[in-house]
Amino acid sequence: MNADILFLNNKTMEELGVLDMQQAISDVEKAYVLNANGDVISPGKCVLRWGKTPEDENIYGRINAMPGYIGGEYDMAGIKWIGSGPMNYKKGLPRASVTVILNDPDTKLPVCIADGTAVSTMRTGASGGIAIKLLAKSNASVMTICGAGAQAPKQLEAALIARPSIRELYIYDIRPENARRFEETVNRTYPGIKTVVTDNIEEATRRSDIIDCVTLAAEPFIDGSWLKPGSLVMNMADFEVSYSCVERADKIVVDYWESVKHRMISTVALMWRDGLIKDSDIHAELGQILSGMKAKRENDDEVIYFNAVGAGILDIAVTTRCYRKAMATGKGVKLSFWE
């Protein structure tokens, strides 16, 4: 009775194409459609939280367990185990660290342990890019990214695939050094894009076609009255935008509504808790739009609110692609699980 596990570290994952955004978008689109067709098992996140209040999470951190099974061409089970140490920056470490374990859906045995840190930023960038493709106005040219951390570069990369018309980028972060570091990266990578680091989020919002929030905010910093006609406001993390942004929206779109409610940290989830939003107020999940069951943006004047909380099946899809390539090309380190 033998069983092996393939170990894939960050460098090997890069060699296997984890940083290919077009591929990540393709994986994430397929995962959304499989979800819309019921070909996944995707229970809610289990949160291991330190501290006594949700605000404590921003000091003491958490580890989230996100298990899932994804069918279709992936046919793979597994779990994303994501640690968040908000104070890690003081030790020169990234806030988030991700381990993905893949399990054979037949035997349920583990077959792969992979560094999923890049997987996570790639698939979250891909989710943002897909939302922009379906929900941003056609010729969107001005974007604001709030939160210039690990997610920001991949949000921008995917946004530019979805809307190459973006020419101007506002960068807003409570830590100005992070905003400036991200600006340098953008200037090096995309010299054609004009960048503005700003602490005036109202002005940036008023000018932007796309406002993409990837912060750690637990207090909203964007007001709905600032949103211009045709704008898309993306709440990719917690309580980042005010209730008025959702009230202003002609369409409310989410990645997974049950997960949004289960996680209960984003603006639209809190409004549902407070009885201000009903299930029927949600226009669509992304998978329903991708599979043609619901409409995408219908004109250039609609204000659209989008919220993503993510799901382990997205990470499992991307990691499975890399794992299958590793098996085909002999990359990675085989570990003997049972000898």
Give yes or no for residue 316 binding ligand NAD (CB under 6 A). no
Give yes or no for residue 220 binding ligand NAD (CB under 6 A). no
Residue of minimal Cβ distance to ligand NAD = 149
The rounded distance, in Å, linking the Cα atoms of 92 and 225 is: 38
Q: Of the two residues 55 and 301, which places its CB atom closer to ligand NAD in the complex?
A: 55
Residues 6 or more apart in contact with residue 235 via CB below 8 angstroms: 213, 241, 245, 266, 267, 268, 305, 306, 307, 308
Sequence letter at residue 190: Y
Nearest to 294, CA basis, from 307, 315, 280, 313 = 280
Give yes or no for residue 181 binding ligand NAD (CB under 6 A). no
Take residue 268 and report the two structure tokens written for it.
């639209």
The distance of closest approach from Cβ of residue 265 to ligand NAD in the complex, given in angstroms and rounded to an integer, is 9
Burial of 11 (0-12, 13-18, 19+ CB in 10 A): exposed
Task: Kindly name the residue from 80, 154, 251, 296 that is annotated as catalytic.
Answer: 80
The distance of closest approach from Cβ of residue 242 to ligand NAD in the complex, given in angstroms and rounded to an integer, is 13
The rounded distance, in Å, linking the Cα atoms of 228 and 74 is: 40
Residues 6 or more apart in contact with residue 270 via CB below 8 angstroms: 239, 243, 264
Give yes or no for residue 221 binding ligand NAD (CB under 6 A). yes
Take residue 62 and report the two structure tokens written for it.
């958490």
The distance of closest approach from Cβ of residue 147 to ligand NAD in the complex, given in angstroms and rounded to an integer, is 3
The distance of closest approach from Cβ of residue 299 to ligand NAD in the complex, given in angstroms and rounded to an integer, is 27
Known catalytic residue at 91: no
The SS3 call for residue 11 is: helix
What track of x and - describes contact with ligand NAD for positions 86 through 125 (by CB under 6 A)? ---------xx-----------------------x---x-
Give yes or no for residue 41 binding ligand NAD (CB under 6 A). no
Give yes or no for residue 60 binding ligand NAD (CB under 6 A). no
Q: Of the two residues 62 and 110, which places its CB atom closer to ligand NAD in the complex?
A: 62
The distance of closest approach from Cβ of residue 104 to ligand NAD in the complex, given in angstroms and rounded to an integer, is 26
Sort strands 251-254 and 284-285 into parallel, antiparallel or unpaired: parallel
The rounded distance, in Å, linking the Cα atoms of 306 and 251 is: 8
Q: Of the two residues 215 and 267, which places its CB atom closer to ligand NAD in the complex?
A: 215
Q: Please give the residue ranges that form the binding site for ligand NAD (CB under 6 A).
A: 95-96, 120, 124, 127, 146-151, 172-175, 178, 214-217, 221, 236-238, 308-310
Enumerate the active-site residues.
80
